[in-house]
Amino acid sequence: MSTSIRFLVVDDFSTMRRIIKNFLNDLGYTSIAEADDGKTALPVLKAGDVDFLITDWNMPGMPGLELLREVRGDPATKKLPVLMVTAEAKREQIVEAAQAGVNGYVVKPFTAQTLKEKIDKILASQAAG
């Protein structure tokens, strides 16, 4: 599995971005960009510098679900792997995210094991697909 994958971590809390970034570093990934909501994430995504998007849902500006829809609606990014890491834990929300085309859903607080599993699973299915 390539560690040159370029991640974009989108979360309005700098501590959470830092935790996910540290964790990705631990897993051997070194290329990690950050954004604090969908609006600041979009230009980075449009520039085509991202292979894997990890996003929160509840953010001021543009929330994660809207970002996901933007990503799926743009031919350039519609196949980008998107993992949602969020405190939003209602069944309706998870179903809605799934219907909007999310590739994985992790509920906060999460363990390192869970996050690793979901990332690995998405990358494996990307490689297979």
Q: Interface with other proteins by CB under 8 A: which residues?
A: 13-15, 18-19, 22, 57-58, 63, 65, 86-96, 98-99, 102-108, 110-111, 114
Pick the closest to residue 77 from 86, 68, 85 (CA basis): 68
Nearer CB in complex with other proteins: 2/90: 90
Q: Is-contact 82 41, C-beta < 8 A?
A: no
Angstrom distance (rounded) from CA 126 to CA 1: 11
Nearer CB in complex with other proteins: 13/48: 13
Shortest approach of other proteins to residue 70 CB, angstroms? 16
Torsion angle of C-alpha atoms 73, 75, 80, 82, degrees rounded to 10: 0
Shortest approach of other proteins to residue 47 CB, angstroms? 27
Shortest approach of other proteins to residue 96 CB, angstroms? 5
Nearer CB in complex with other proteins: 19/80: 19
Shortest approach of other proteins to residue 73 CB, angstroms? 18
| Residue type at position 103 | N
Place of tokens 């599993």: 117
